[in-house]
Amino acid sequence: MTLLSVVGENDTTMKFDSWYLTDKGLRRDSNQDSCLINRELGLFIVADGMGGHMGGEVASSMAVETVEEIMLQPEATRKSPREVILQAYEEASKRIFDKAANERPELAGMGTTMVMAYIRGKHLYVGNVGDSRCYLFKRPNLWQITEDHSLINEQLRAGVMSEEQVRQFVGRNVITRSVGYEREVYPDIIEREIFPGEIFLMCSDGLSGLVEDGRISEILNQNTPDKAVKACVEQALANGGDDNVTVMLVHFHE
């Protein structure tokens, strides 16, 4: 495991520190998670690939590369944040789907979750498809601000299942929306004003699927942000490490 730390500042002098840590876990032969911190763009991404050993790696890396490419285009800053995020997800999904359909038929069915955060001025825009998550932490409280696109979450929202039944649910890892599995995809987009002291944590389900929100909150309350990233990954491994795990944290301050 290698912890990466990045310090940045956006165009309104809202400074931030950011860290990420990714690990293949204890049960997987490879790491199909991909992630990115681009401090100049104020862009943060976590993607969790699916579709077998090769397909997952290809899909998640293509998604991250495509979003960064779209965000780097000169016209991106002339569009609204929502427009450019929507374009980024749409283009990533088309490229992944087309690659499997036209170039690499052995990768048919590949796709990826993707959660991203994008700073524009004093606002943070969060895009999400799948069950990777973005949390907001403002000491001492933790809130999940994205909604999982998963079979289990649909069952919970419909009232078919209780929170107590979640752990025994057979289809808990089935996602209902992904980037690239179909050619078109529509992301959830959330806008929030940024305030000093806020921490945004993004992760693959290698963390959220193995570590309860209450424990993540405890880790954030008990550690400095840089140490919290490592502590979250270590907790996921201690809880079984069944999946690749990626944790990214962005801390805003004056």
Task: Say which CATH number the domain at 129 has.
Answer: 3.60.40.10
Q: Give the total residue count for the chain.
A: 254
Q: What residue ranges of the chain have pLDDT lower than 70?
A: 1-13, 53, 157, 159, 161-172
Query: Which token pair is 180?
Result: 């690239």
Contacts of 74 (CB under 8 A, 6+ apart): none
Q: How far apart are CA 232 and CA 217, in angstroms?
A: 10
Whether residue 183 contacts residue 241, with contact meaning beta carbons closer than 8 Å, is answered with: no
Number of structural domains (the chain) is 1
Supply the pTM of this predicted model.
0.91
* Residues in CB range of 39: below 8 A, 6 or more apart: 6, 7, 8, 9, 18
Predicted confidence at residue 2, as pLDDT, reads 44
Q: Give SS3 for 73.
A: coil
pLDDT digits (tens, 9 = 90+) for 167-191: 665 556 789 999 999 999 999 999 9
**Could you tell me the sign of the dihedral formed by the alpha carbons of 236, 112, 121, 191, in that order?**
negative
**What gap in Å lies between CA 135 and CA 250, rounded to an integer?**
10
Cα–Cα distances in Å, from 15 out to 80, 147, 154, 252? 22, 27, 37, 6
Residue 93's domain comprises 4-253
Torsion of CA 1, 107, 102, 83, to 10 degrees: -50
Hey, what are 250's tokens? 């962005």
Predicted confidence at residue 95, as pLDDT, reads: 98
